[in-house]
Amino acid sequence: MSKRFIPVVAVLALLAASPIAAQTCTGVTSCTATQTASLTIPSLVSLDLGVGTYTLTQPVPGDLAAGYKLETAAPNITVRANKAWTLSVMAAAPNFTAAGGLGVRARGRLYWANAVGADLSTYTAMTGSAATVDAGAATNGATPQVFYASSYASSYADPSNVPDTYTLALTFTLAAP
């Protein structure tokens, strides 16, 4: 036998061993055949962050003295999932980007919490690893809360307090494994 003939014989043998389940019917005035419809629905998720940029409140001298500024409004986040879900957040870059290139603010100066706290003790510093923000059961519109806070060095001369516009890309991940 040639080497090409062996695979063809093997495939034909498999087909002969497997019954083909075609549904047919014959009749004079009517006949009935059945068929099964199959549909696989995967895990479906939808995440809406409301806006692309959330603008933090500018600090005032009292915020430098206190060492932080708490945001009292949260971005509008909406989660939809057809099974249990988890929402996480992280910032890959170690530092904010300074538009003018003048100052240096570490990502750890941005904090988040699920509720407005009295001070930074109830907030979590932003890191380069995904941190769970919220989780829940299947939903058609959960609204997880993420409140931000910024920490400040008390020195006006600190490189993290240099006047500039600072941005930090945040990655929110919605998973329903």
pLDDT of 55-81, one tens digit each?
999 999 999 999 999 999 999 999 999
Phi, psi of 12, rounded to the nearest 5 degrees:
-65, -40
pLDDT at residue 23, rounded to an integer:
83
Type of residue numbered 55: T
Closest CA to 153 of 91, 109, 99: 109
Annotated domain spans of the chain: 45-175
What Å distances lie between residue 68 and 61, 72, 98, 177, CA to CA? 11, 13, 19, 37
133 neighbors 142 (Cβ within 8 angstroms): no
77 neighbors 146 (Cβ within 8 angstroms): yes
Closest CA to 150 of 114, 93, 108, 121: 108
For residue range 23-43, what is the model confidence (pLDDT) as tens digits?
Answer: 899 989 999 999 999 999 999
Q: In angstroms, rounded to a whole number, what is the distance separating the alpha carbons of residues 45 and 140?
A: 10
pLDDT mean over 111-126: 95
144 neighbors 156 (Cβ within 8 angstroms): no
pLDDT at residue 20, rounded to an integer:
54
pLDDT mean over 92-102: 96
pLDDT at residue 16, rounded to an integer:
47
- Fold for 45-175, please state it: Immunoglobulin-like (2.60.40)
Q: Which two tokens stand for residue 45?
A: 């998720």
